Structure 1
Amino acid sequence: MTTDQFFTQLWNDYITITPQAEAVRQLFVEHGEEVINDHVAFRTFSNTPVDLSHLQPVIETLGYEAAGEYRFEQKKLNAKSFRHQTEESAPKIFISELQIHELSEPAQKILNGLTAQIPGNLTLDPSIFWHGRLWNMPTSAEYSLLREESEYAAWLSTIGIRVNHFTVSIEKLKCYNDIGAVNTLLASQGFPLNSVGGEIKGSPEMLLEQSSTMADKITLTFQDNKEETVPSCFYEFAKRYPDADGKLFQGFIEGNADKIFESTNAM
């Protein structure tokens, strides 16, 4: 599978539960812009057949290599970023992993029960990244307990393994290459923005500015047949700046990403 095929499949899956993303893309196109993707992100659970150590080899088959490691203490997450070895224009990939063993015993019990349903002989290939849940839906009570402790855990328990967000590369836009202008455009069209820590996360001095919409909503039926509207996925916007050597910064800033995670919080 080529990288183009991989990201096309991801996008097609993404917009089925994130229609705002296609609406935002069309908005930029209508303003004469070509939308180029900076990176995508995925979420997963530790110590499972789909943890980071199992997903990394799949990413590597697409020509990627690890480029950075990150820790989010408060959210109990480890993460890695990946860059393509030969295709400089290929979007970056960011995978975070919830450390289940760091949660409370009730939360661990729920998540261990869900992840125990993942087949041990699961064959991993690029399609795992649009597979969705590999377990049954939790009950509404289990979901509520998870959400009180970890919005990340609650989101992953319902949405599963699929792309969490795409990211517009602002520095590659022709007219809207200022993050403030992007946010103003989005707000004028009624797209809710993540305001945690301010609508703009980061700064030119940090070589990276980011913002994002709040996640779309999707109605799901829980295992106890109760329906609830829960967050799905969101759209991110990133502007990268050149470093002292004139090279565009390609990494991620933990303080920014920590706030971007909250784009899937229930409002």
Structure 2
Amino acid sequence: MQAPQFFDSLWQHYITMTPQANRIQALFKSHGETVLNDHIAFRTFANSPISLEKLEPQLESMGYQAYGAFRFENKHLVARCYKHPDHNDWPKIFLSELLVNELPESCQRIINTMIDQIPEDAVQSPAIFWSGLLWEKPTLNQYDTLTEHSEYAAWFATMGLQANHFTVSVNLLETFTTLEEVNQLLLSEGYLLNEVGGVIKGSPSVYLEQSSTMADKIHYTFSDGKEKTIPSCFYEFARRHKTNDGTLFDSFIEGNADKIFDSTNTK
């Protein structure tokens, strides 16, 4: 699969889960903007048939290369980022995985039941990245248990493998040249923004500023028939700054990303 086809398929699936993204893109276009994507993010479980290690070769098959590694102690995550060496205009990819063995045993039991249902050969092509659930839905009680200890785990248990968010490149907008202007536009249209650590995460001094909406909400029926409104996916906005050598910063900042993860929190 070629990368452009990959991103198009991802986007079509993503906007079914995240209708706000389609509306926001239309909003920018109504102001004469062309919206281009900075990066896409995915979540997964470590030590599973869809671990980061198992998924990475599918990104490499499209020419993407890893260039950074991250650790989020409080959220029990590791992550890697990827870019295409020959296409700077193609989106970067941020892939994180949950270190399940660091969670309480009650959570490990729930997650391991899900992992046991994933076929060992589940990863066959890049299409795995929009495969959704590869296990039976959790019960509401299981979901609440996961939420208590890891919002990331609860989200992935209900949403599965899909684009967690796309990201508007503010650098490539023409009318809205700062993140403050982008955020003001979104707030004026009634969108709820992630305020954890401030509406803007990062600063020019760390070469990256990021904001995001709070995730769309969907009506979800759990495997025990109980229903609840839960978070789906969100839309992010990133502005990159030049480093001391004059090149545009192209990686990620752990402190920023840690707060962006909270865009899918239930509270």
TM-score clears 0.5:
yes
Shift in Å, 1:66: 0.3
Q: TM-score, normalised by structure 2?
A: 0.99
- How many Å separate the matches in 1 of 2:4 and 2:114? 32
Match of 1:4 in 2: 4
Match of 1:75 in 2: 75
Contact 2:38 2:168 in 1 (8 A): yes
Shift in Å, 1:91: 0.4
- How many Å separate the matches in 2 of 1:121 and 1:202? 39
Which amino acid in structure 2 is aligned with residue 261 of structure 1? F
Shift in Å, 1:123: 4.1
Tell me, which stretches of 5 or more residues in structure 1 are unaligned? none
Matched, 1:33 2:33: yes
- How many Å separate the matches in 1 of 2:123 and 2:107? 27
Matched, 1:242 2:242: yes
Matched, 1:207 2:207: yes
Query: Following superposition of structure 1 onto structure 2, how do residues 112-261 of structure 1 map, counting pairs within 5 Å?
Result: 112-261=112-261
Match of 1:59 in 2: 59
- How many Å separate the matches in 2 of 1:120 and 1:128? 13
Residues matched between the structures, number: 267
- How many Å separate the matches in 1 of 2:72 and 2:94? 13
Partner of 1:209, secondary structure, is strand
Shift in Å, 1:227: 1.0
Q: TM-score, normalised by structure 1?
A: 0.99
Which amino acid in structure 2 is aligned with residue 139 of structure 1? T
- How many Å separate the matches in 1 of 2:107 and 2:230? 18
Matched, 1:89 2:89: yes
Which amino acid in structure 1 is aligned with residue 146 of structure 2? L
Shift in Å, 1:121: 2.7
Query: Following superposition of structure 1 onto structure 2, how do residues 106-117 of structure 1 map, counting pairs within 5 Å?
Result: 106-117=106-117
Which amino acid in structure 1 is aligned with residue 176 of structure 2? Y
Partner of 1:132, secondary structure, is coil
Shift in Å, 1:85: 2.1
Shift in Å, 1:126: 0.7
1:98-137: per-residue Cα shift (whole Å, max 9, x none)?
0000000000000000110001132421100000010000
1:216-237: per-residue Cα shift (whole Å, max 9, x none)?
0111111100111110000000
1:124-183: per-residue Cα shift (whole Å, max 9, x none)?
211000000100000000000000100000000000000000000001100101000000
Partner of 2:252, secondary structure, is coil
Shift in Å, 1:3: 1.3
Partner of 1:156, secondary structure, is helix
Q: CA RMSD in A?
A: 0.6
